Structure 1
């Protein structure tokens, strides 16, 4: 486990890479399209929160995966499928979404919203990953244990955990019985 230097954690590297990619995507796509993508992510997260338990049970029965892993996988599948579908529909519907005459404002605003959008995506993925890593899948558990070690020693993950309550408060109306599912309350 001490193969990598302490400052080079794979999760920290992936988080920084995702943040840079999200900001670059925001610069390219612009403010309006990124704001629409933020709304799409909200709708996708709400739908995933409502339906991930049912799909998780179905995946559990079909594949034999542990229920926690199946529910996490179901959440990510619903989140990704709905986000991809709605973004595709928005792209086909609104081809030109640049702010006319304000290209620099559009690009800078897109970068800011791209950063926020990426932070929300990363936060949701970290929650699901922590939930899934809590359950052993196979007898040979070395990969999961290595991932848990890197997850727990990452320097950036605690920052996202501090951001999560703010993001989850906006989703509270869609939570079953007003309570967050186990998926959103678990921490490694």
Structure 2
């Protein structure tokens, strides 16, 4: 399994932010270009659909009680709460794609990364970083929207700093990609994925303990 870690200001929680489009495109390009190899999971959420979103395409929209029951049953590989709403990635969906031999690609944020690292799931972790200087770039784009209040901007920047600091912790990520140019960022991601798959297959052929991006 491959986990793409974005800053919370560019992740699934806030897809409407202007600069998120290129980040999310990095996430979707592998499945779009190699549909028989990759699959992206659809997250569950307790929030209502936004204009233009489709049920069972953008998210699985579920009541809070159903979501919390699924947490109690251990049905999520990771889950998080943001803005009063919950978001989570279903274990069943991941198992289904893995059963088809797909590499599952997850769009995830810091708390999700921490949860999955504590689990028995084998994965590769890639951090998609905004262009440097990171915080200045984020602040400029947040202010450029013209819809954020000052306290909201400061909260988002504070969270972004936490995640940037976490991304620099040794051993947390297998690769950090600066998303300055979409095609360049995607190519770096693609090369990393296929190199990992080649190494894994070689290890299996030699009856060695390999590293899998599919588990």
Kindly indicate whether structure 1 or structure 2 has the higher relative contact order, using CA contacts under 8 Å at least 6 residues apart: 1
TM-score (normalised: structure 1): 0.30
